[in-house]
Amino acid sequence: MDTIKFRAFCTVAELHSISKAAEKLYYTQPAISTQIRGLETEYGARLFRRNGKRIELTEAGQELLPIARQILKLFEDSANAVRRVAAVENHNVHLGASGMPGVHLVPELVARFKEKYPQHIVAISIANAYQLERMMADGEVDLGIFGRSVPIQSTGRFMEIELFEDPLVLVVGNNHPLACQETIEADQLMGESLILPPQRILTRTSVDERLKQLNVQTKLAFEIANSEAIKRMVANHLGVSIMCESVVKAESRVGWLKAIPIHGLMLSRKVYLSYPQEKESNPAIKELVTFIREYFHA
């Protein structure tokens, strides 16, 4: 926005000199003369009376001076207002996550991020992968952590980074006969009562397919969508489960559950970070992306 004409006008009026005004505004004298002349042409009136070396406001100029000052003040206020809003926007980031990463990874991740960047405000949305995909495509969330690769990546607008590979492990209660083992063979699952998520969940599909390939016969005891409920049921000795290692990390640490790698199962889930490329222009988002990559060594 061009306010130089008004700034030149006000400065010349204050200093009674085009040369001094030019010096103050870091222009040359002819440049300021041209600006004043341009203003006079636009208004169709002389704004300054040239008296030899001294330059004085005409009546028209005196009339314009307070209005010009007001215009400059309004411009400054508007610029400040926009800068304030932009500063807030540049510190806001909306992180989305699908179920498993949202519950088991994001809270700790965000806590560490806030320790390092307390000035950034992180909003979190946890949704299923399909909902999260839609939210990202609509720009409702800035970046998403998914428990699988997402099809929107194929549009070319989105960046996708593989963060880490989360192995599927057997989860048993601390009194279960297998709890004393550090690893087990897949065929040791034979006859175990499994508590698994429903068939529409990727983990369940993968487990079913792999166990079928290995010809391991198990018994489905319960089918529950909520991983927290599954863990509580396992802890209450209602069966065993197969889930991502990160999901039972906290319970394993305190000894409520035991996570045992299954030799030969060779199943894992990859966790991805996805975001639209244009979002990198927001400093908070860029810093969060860098932080997530470093956090997962991706």
| Chain contacts with DNA (rule: CB under 7 A) | 2, 4, 17-20, 26-31, 33-38, 48, 50-53, 55
**Which ranges constitute the DSSP H helices of 44-90?**
59-89
User: Whole-number minimum distance, CB 25 to DNA, in Å?
Assistant: 9
- Nearest Cα neighbor of 242 from 229, 252, 231, 256 is 231
Give me the phi and psi of 176, to 5 degrees please. -65, 145
Q: How far is residue 195 from each of residues 110, 198, 237, measured CA to CA in Å? A: 30, 10, 11
Measured from the CB atom, the residue of 72 and 126 that comes closer to DNA is: 72
Measured from the CB atom, the residue of 26 and 254 that comes closer to DNA is: 26
User: Whole-number minimum distance, CB 230 to DNA, in Å?
Assistant: 48
* Farthest-apart Cα atoms in the chain, separation: 108
Measured from the CB atom, the residue of 52 and 255 that comes closer to DNA is: 52
Question: Please, are residues 298 and 163 in contact by the beta-carbon 8 Å criterion?
Answer: yes
User: Whole-number minimum distance, CB 260 to DNA, in Å?
Assistant: 53
3-state secondary structure of 269: strand
Question: Please, are residues 224 and 195 in contact by the beta-carbon 8 Å criterion?
Answer: yes
Measured from the CB atom, the residue of 2 and 138 that comes closer to DNA is: 2
User: Whole-number minimum distance, CB 169 to DNA, in Å?
Assistant: 47
Question: Please, are residues 260 and 184 in contact by the beta-carbon 8 Å criterion?
Answer: yes
User: Whole-number minimum distance, CB 35 to DNA, in Å?
Assistant: 6
Measured from the CB atom, the residue of 33 and 268 that comes closer to DNA is: 33
Tokens of 279: 């979002």
